[in-house]
Chain A
Amino acid sequence: MTEAILYVIIFLTLYFQAFMLLTYVSRSARERRAKSPMTADFPHVAVIVPCFNEESTIGSTVESLKALNYPKDKLEIVLVNDGSTDNTRSVMDAYANDPHIMVIHKENGGKHSAMNLGIERTTAEFIGCLDADSFVHENALSEIIPHFDHENVGAVTASMSVHEPKNALQSMQYAEYLLGIALRHIISSVNGLYVTPGPFSFYRRSVLAKVGGFRYAHQTEDMEMAMRLQKAGYTIENAPRAQVYTKAPHTLWALIKQRTRWTSGFIRNAWDYRAIIGNPRYGVLGLLIMPLGILALVAGMGLFVMTTIDTTRSIASAIAMQGEVPLTFVFSMPGLDWFYFPITEVLMLCLVGISIIFVTMIIGKRISGVPGTLGAGLIWYLTLYSLISPVWLFRSVRDVAFGYSRSWR
């Protein structure tokens, strides 16, 4: 029975990967990759930076926005201090005299309220969000705007990456984000995105006016907004060369907390927008992406449980079998003989899956132009990710099951 479940999971994983690779070479994806950056007729754009206790990072975030290759008179930067209790206010006030920067201070009300206040204060045609722990490449904005080439495009996402990873955990995330870049690009070409990430996603003002502003949504407002846009029939595009760098958690605990928030947010928003799941009206998103997203969550936990039980059993049986036989005999290396190569169907299929993951990461790196080397990241991704991701999966399910809400930090 467990073997059958394992084969079903592997089949669906490989099916998803095959679908992704096929979509990558499809015409719609190729056309999206071929879009040129904006060089004329720049529309009026605003970037809202919601801040809560971001004194150490807000400066570099603003400086990267000021360095954008975009006409200054067409770009408005809106800094919204959401009731910070640290020195964020004074750091932000230092920019108050800049004619292209608007500084707003408000009572703490959550990211959605900061975003809505920023939207309210600007008249820009396209409105973006940039989390205050992120910074952008100078060409990011001119790469994004051309993707609003159809009135039905409600939002455009960027390519998020980790800037100069410092430790194993950040290297793992660097590789993971490259995978995300490729998947986001591919999935957007079949309008299957269900999240418009905080770092540098842009929205069409007229669409926001129709669907409404941001809402409190289980601390994943960007996911709720994307699902709302999808439900309303708008498309969400992706600009793969629009590089934005986010500050990836550098400790295990910080990473677990962040991912617990994302995963529990996904479960809760998926429940709120369950009408999308399995609904042919929403195409690839409804029939493939959302169902497989939920399945991946269940499978991740199931595989962890199965692997833990199997490993425990094997260790117990090995200990029982070893009995009084010396360890030197137990660990004596068998000679190299093809006969004993432990080649099984599961191992071979997993190797195929891992190879496709590697190829997808390379695709992510190539289409985005994100600098850095993948080698160490890939190794950390393959060794660490499956060990630590079950922690946030179980934690998220527990939070949702018991109605527990966690703080942002």
Chain B
Amino acid sequence: MTPAAQNALIALVITVLLFGTVIGAVEYLNRARVAELSNIEDKIAIDTLSLETQFDLLAEAPCTDITEGSVLSTELNDLAERLSYTEERLGSDNDEVIKLKRQYTLLQIKDYLLMKRLSKECKNLNPVFVLYFYSNKDGDCPGCAEAGYALSYLRSTYPRLRVYSFDYNLDLGALKTFEAVLGIKPPFPAYVISNAKFNSLTSLSDLESKLPLDLLATSTATSTKK
């Protein structure tokens, strides 16, 4: 074998190793991202349990001890943003992403139900709920990207706004029941805003017009994308 042929062969091995190393490194980073998400979800799960316990003690504890700031909005927003980024990177059909989304969805439903109960009992809490249902299926929801972005902006503009986003097609029993109870149907995006149902709202002005602006105070907070 000539020296040039030897170099050609060694170069091939080096290139394959280089590709393997880079793919491995990025895979490692993605796994670290998933682990981070899992940690956040675990933390939220504990916080939810803590809040439920706190709520169970409500009979003996004054409502003033519970404020909107003490509950999960910030963590959920942060998780939503990270999950959305991870979904973009790994794909919506990735097993890890689906698992994390299912946990996230459950946490959102629990948080929503809990906040509903809290706001009923504690008059000092006046959250405004937006339940947002989107679809990732091709052609199902061309306006979802715009709607998700507009909601992120609204969430950052109105900190008292509690936006919960759900992938309509996610295979999760609790979500299916939730959708059935609320009567969510296509076309998408579909919403429940302050107990009223809407479909196909995508623009910022359309969404803002449905919000009870008198209940929302303007300030800045962490943004969250779909």
Q: Which residues of A contact B (CB under 8 A)?
A: 11, 14-15, 18-19, 22-23, 26-28, 190, 283-284, 288, 317, 320-326, 329, 332, 339-340, 343-345, 348-349, 352
A320 to B146, Cβ gap below 8 A?
Answer: yes
A71 to B15, CA, bound (A): 49
Per the 8 Å Cβ criterion, residues 1-27 of B in contact with A are: 2-4, 7-8, 10-12, 14-15, 18-19, 22-23, 25-26
Least Cβ–Cβ distance between B149 and chain A, in angstroms = 5
Residue of B nearest to A351 (CB): B22
B205 to A324, Cβ gap below 8 A?
Answer: yes
B204 to A283, Cβ gap below 8 A?
Answer: no
The interface residues of chain A, by DSSP majority, are classed as: helix
Least Cβ–Cβ distance between A114 and chain B, in angstroms = 37
Least Cβ–Cβ distance between B185 and chain A, in angstroms = 24
A345 to B203, Cβ gap below 8 A?
Answer: no
A18 to B12, CA, bound (A): 8
Residue of A nearest to B86 (CB): A339
B203 to A329, Cβ gap below 8 A?
Answer: no
A22 to B149, Cβ gap below 8 A?
Answer: no
Partner of A283, one of B4, B14, B26, B148: B4
Count chain A CB atoms within 10 A of each CB in B145, B153, B204 and give the residue with the most: B153
B149 to A325, Cβ gap below 8 A?
Answer: yes
Partner of A19, one of B7, B36, B148, B223: B7
Give chain B's interface residue range (CB within 8 Å of chain A).
20 to 34
A190 to B11, CA, bound (A): 15
Residue of B nearest to A353 (CB): B18
Residue of B nearest to A352 (CB): B18
Q: Which residues of B contact A19 (CB under 8 A)?
A: 7-8, 11
A-B contact pairs, 22 of them (CB 8 A): A15-B11, A18-B10, A18-B11, A19-B7, A190-B4, A284-B8, A317-B145, A320-B146, A323-B149, A323-B150, A324-B203, A324-B204, A325-B153, A326-B153, A329-B223, A339-B36, A340-B85, A343-B26, A344-B26, A345-B23, A349-B18, A352-B22
Given A28-B3, A329-B153, A352-B22, CB of A321 within 8 Å of CB of B146: yes
